Amino acid sequence: MGLDPDLSFILATTMVAVLGTAGLVVLHAYRRSRRDRQRLFTWRQKQALLIRAGHRCEHKPLLGRRCRATSRLQADHIVPWSRGGPTETWNGQVLCRRHNRSKSNLVPGPLYRWRLERQRRRYRPRPLRPTTKEIPT
């Protein structure tokens, strides 16, 4: 006695769907457990990132010049925190709001990191801007 071919097809696809969903749930839980407990960069880490970046957005298209934005800068995880990227300065970069939004939670490839490291060697240090308004004397 065999099963109806239609019924066995339905059973097989249901099994695949159930196992696939279970796999995704386990994968999600695993990724969550691997996240860094610290979600945001500390003030000190942000200062270190800003100094390294010369207080300027680090976005540079493959063919083109580095972004010139020096305001509304944000500390960004190169490997996104949501994908297990640690909140440490080696995994940080400075991006303007626009470029941080366009990057979203994409994981850049090894070429990106290599280009960024090379690019950083060419940064010119910029004097720190005063944080408080200077009082005219």
Fill in the per-residue mask, 11 to 50: x = in contact with Zn ion (CB under 5 A), - = not in contact: ----------------------------------------
Among residues 48, 67, 78, 79, the one that binds Zn ion under rule CB under 5 A: 67
Q: Distance between alpha carbon 42 and the CA centroid of its chain, in Å?
A: 16
Among residues 49, 53, 57, 73, the one that binds Zn ion under rule CB under 5 A: 57
CA proximity to 95, closest of 63, 127, 66, 64:
66
Identify residue 133 by its one-letter amino acid code: K
Q: Of 49 and 96, which CB lies nearer to Zn ion in the complex structure?
A: 96
Q: Of 57 and 75, which CB lies nearer to Zn ion in the complex structure?
A: 57
Nearest approach, Cβ of residue 74 and Zn ion (Å): 10
Both tokens assigned to 53: 């970046």
Among residues 59, 77, 81, 93, the one that binds Zn ion under rule CB under 5 A: 59
* β partners of residue 96: 73
Q: CA 11 → CA 6, 20, 84, 104, 109, distances in Å?
A: 9, 14, 36, 39, 40
Q: Of 35 and 55, which CB lies nearer to Zn ion in the complex structure?
A: 55
Nearest approach, Cβ of residue 99 and Zn ion (Å): 4
Is 69 one of the binding residues for Zn ion (CB under 5 A)?
Answer: yes
Reduce the DSSP state of residue 7 to 3 states and report it.
Answer: helix
CA atoms within 13 A on the CB side of 3: 8
Binding residues for Zn ion (CB under 5 A): 57, 59, 67, 69, 96, 99
